[in-house]
Every structure is written in structure tokens, then in C-alpha cells.
Amino acid sequence: MDVVKDEEKPLHIVMFPWLAFGHMIPYLELAKLIAQKGHQVSYVSTPRNIERLPKLPPNIAPLINFVKLPMPKVDNLPQNAEATTDIPYHVVQYLKNAFDKLEKPLTHFLQSSNVDWIFHDFAPFWLGPVASKLGIKCAFFSIFTAPLIGFMGPLSVLMGNDPGRTKPEDFIVTPPWVPFQTTVAYRYFEIMKIADILSNENPGGYSDIYRLCYCMHHCETILIRGCTKFEPEWFQVLQNIHNKPVVPVGQLPSMSIEYSNEDNTWSWIKEWLEKKPHSSVLYVAFGSEAKPSQEEVTNIALGLEESKVPFFWVLRVQRGPTDNEVLQLPEGFDERTKGHGVVCTDWVPQMKILGHVAIGGFLTHAGWTSVVEAVQNEKPLVLMTFLADQGINARVLEEKKMGYSVPRDERDGSFTSNSVAASIRLVMTEEDGRIYREKIKEMKDLFANTTLQDNYIDNLLNHLRSL
């Protein structure tokens, strides 16, 4: 651990992520790295979210102060729902209403805590003026990558002052502020699935684009999960379109993550994997938030069967207890794949599974934490996107040949079991897919080198002190 020099007072930094595990986990990783440098970190969320975070290593646990703000009550939000993973997609707007009601208790905490900086997510559009009044500086920490934030564009476009970003079709082409050739854009079916982020006539109040826009408008600096060697041209785009510093914080590889219920779960999974040949098993998981449709699940299942590749599939059959669209596997699927594949509907230690030698590929939704964990473990990717930033992530991975997207219908995103099977075989075993297996290995140093990651944190802390 580096100890802060006497003449430099440690900073007190507050972490305030959006209520989704895909956000809370990278915020926690960054919190750990900063706390290890001798700074004071307060991690703010609601009680049930904090209780569900991974355990911290004993040397770091005392360095992070967890602040549990009571979950505000709002209409239409089920009891005990505190994160996106607890509720169906169409209920997330009410979670945002509840999140906005954290303004008062958060302000109260900030007033009484001598805070230097608050690192916030895309959601609290109201935070900038509050922090400014208290003399606290704001950093927008984007768990979204540089290509996603670059693709979203300058504030004038986000504010809707510029013509050109009003229809879904505007999101499927390279925008004018991107000066190089790239395939990075949404596909039609991807943008249609998230059309609600574009609309300010959202019953939840404010669109995600509105939120992102005001968070970027008010902050002193923009911090991005990523590294300049991986995506230099996109960091350049960000420098060009935003009138404020843009600082990469590294890929935040998962380090020594442990969950409290981990040991029991891991022992049976390990036992199952031990019986399989090296690099023979496909790991299938779509993160804590993405939930495929019933038709998609059926085709994924039949595709897995057709591929003849052994698989370990983590399938969330519902988003929280109030989700009544429970996913079903095809009839007879369990018997036909017995011994050959596992479908697990509970939480699993993903990093441990990906680290096992039996795993030879990863069918993923392309959430960036999953991507980073795959690169750390050198597992090539088969991509199937569902929501949010996943489409843009997938384009980046396709361009860099780190992953191959299952072919889909451009208009409705549908796909066949046949194309699932062919994509799996391509990435895992066929000669034509060798490039995916090689490229993912090449990227490991860029994503998981601890010296490099450490340099990003030093650079970040110097940057914060310079403002």
C-alpha cells in the first residue's frame, strides 16, 4: 500500500453509482484501488445493495466506509426492490424515481462529511448544483466505455439542440463528430429495444439521455472506464467534443472478488468442470440485468444442443419475484443435455468459472465487466446483445476480432438456433475462428496488467489534486 505523503492531505471521495450491479461493481473496484492509495472513500448506496456487494479483502475492508441511505418509497416499485436486477425492465423507470428521491438524504450526508470529490454515475442530473453549493467537486465516472460516450456525442446533441438525433435511424450510422471509418453504431433492432432512453415523454420523468447530458454538463471532469492504448481514437473524440478533461481510469479488472456464499456453489461447479477436457466448455451468461425473451431462450437452448459443445449456462428465468414472465427451456432439453450441459438459475462465481481451464469460450451479452473478466481469463467471445450499451460494446469487440456476434435479423433482432450453433463452433473450435482465440489473448496485458492499472490510478489522483 502506498501511504499518502505528509504534506498531502488524503482526499475524501464519495462513490455514488446508479442502482445496477453492472454499475455498482466497477465503482467498488475503483473505490478499492483509490482506498489502497491512502485516501478516504465513502461508498453510498441503499442497504440491500450494499449487503449484496462482494466481500472486500481484509486489508481493504477497513478503508472503505459504506453509507446506507434508506431506500425511498415510490409508487409502483415492489417491496425490497433496490436494483435493476430486482425488477422487470418496464419497472426500472420507477427505480429512477426512487433514486431521485435520494437527493435529500445524500445532501444531508455530504453536508456533514467534509467531502472533496463525488464520483457519480449518469443518473443524478440534480447533483451538480447541490455539490457546487457545498463546495464539493463532481466527477462523472462513466462505466460506459469511450466508444459509447463518444458515440452519444456532444452536449448540444444530447440536449436536442442539434438536428440529426431525433429518430432511431440516426443511431445506426457513424455520427458527424466521429472523423474516422468505424462500424461502431447501434443496429436497428438494438436501438428499437431501448427507444425509451431517447424519449423525454417517459412516465418516469427524465430520459437516460437527459440524465447523462446534465451529469456531463455539471461535472468538473469526466472519468472513463478504459485505456487509451485500447481505444485511442475514441478518447480523441471525447477530447474534441467535450470542453473539459477526459481521463481514462483503466479497465478495472476484477481483483480478488469473493462473495459470501461462494464456496459451496463453487465446489460443485468445479467438480463438474474438472471432468471436461481443456477448452471444451462454453460458458453462457448474460449478466445481472439482461433477460432474453422466451423465443430467444428457446433458440439459444436449441443452438447449444445443435452445437454439440458442452455448456455451463447461467440463466436468470425472471427479473425479481414480481416478474411473472418466467422463462422456460424447451421440452425435453434437460434430459437430452444431461451430463453434457448444465443450466444454473442461481448466482455463480463468474470470475472463477471463467478462470477454469475447461472453459473454452463465453457466450455473453457484452456488458463491459463480463468482457474484462473474459479477457483476464483469455476466453474468446460469442456475442448476443440485449440492452443499453451492449450493442456499441459488441461493435468494438467485432472490429477488434475479440468476439463474433450471432447473426440476427436487422429489423427485429431474431436469430435461429442454427446460427447460434454455427457461431459457437466458429469461435471455439473451427480454423476460421482462430483469430478470435488469438486476439483475446493479445489483449490480456492491456486489460489486466496491474502495473498499468496502478499508473492509471496515480494519474487520476494527480489529476484530481490539480483541479
Ligand X SMILES: *[C@@H]1O[C@H](CO)[C@@H](O)[C@H](O)[C@H]1NC(C)=O
CB of 155 to ligand X, least distance (A): 35
Instruction: Please count the residues of this chain forming the interface with ligand X, following the rule CB under 6 A.
Output: 4
CB of 288 to ligand X, least distance (A): 30
Of all residues in the shown chain, the one whose CB is closest to ligand X is: 449
Q: What is the rounded distance in angstroms from the CA atom of residue 265 to the CA atom of residue 281?
A: 18
> Does 445 help bind ligand X (rule: CB under 6 A)?
yes
Q: What is the rounded distance in angstroms from the CA atom of residue 290 to the CA atom of residue 182?
A: 26
Please report the DSSP string for 209-262 in residue order. Answer: HHHHHHHHHH-SEEEESB-TTTSHHHHHHHHHH-SS-EEE-B-----S-B-TTH
CB of 450 to ligand X, least distance (A): 7
By beta-carbon proximity to ligand X, the closer residue of 122 and 456 is: 456
CB of 283 to ligand X, least distance (A): 24
In the shown chain, the binding pattern of residues 394 to 433 toward ligand X, with x for contact by CB under 6 A and - for none, equals: ----------------------------------------
- Side-by-side strand order, sheet with 221-224: 64-68, 40-45, 12-16, 117-120, 137-142, 221-224, 246-248
- Side-by-side strand order, sheet with 381-383: 341-344, 311-314, 281-285, 359-364, 381-383, 403-405
> Does 452 help bind ligand X (rule: CB under 6 A)?
yes
Residue owning grid cell 467485432: 398
How many Å separate Cα 244 from the centre of its chain?
A: 24
Q: Within 105-144, which residues bind ligand X (CB under 6 A)? A: none
CB of 30 to ligand X, least distance (A): 20
By beta-carbon proximity to ligand X, the closer residue of 343 and 452 is: 452
With CB under 6 A as the contact rule, the residue among 449, 454, 459, 463 that binds ligand X is 449
> Does 236 help bind ligand X (rule: CB under 6 A)?
no
> Does 451 help bind ligand X (rule: CB under 6 A)?
yes
Q: Look up residue 52 and give its three cell numbers.
A: 449484496
CB of 204 to ligand X, least distance (A): 44
By beta-carbon proximity to ligand X, the closer residue of 256 and 328 is: 256
Q: Which whole-number Å values give the CA distances from 198 to 15, 84, 211, 271, 388, in the listed order? A: 27, 19, 11, 46, 11
Residues forming contacts to ligand X in the complex (CB under 6 A) are 445, 449, 451-452
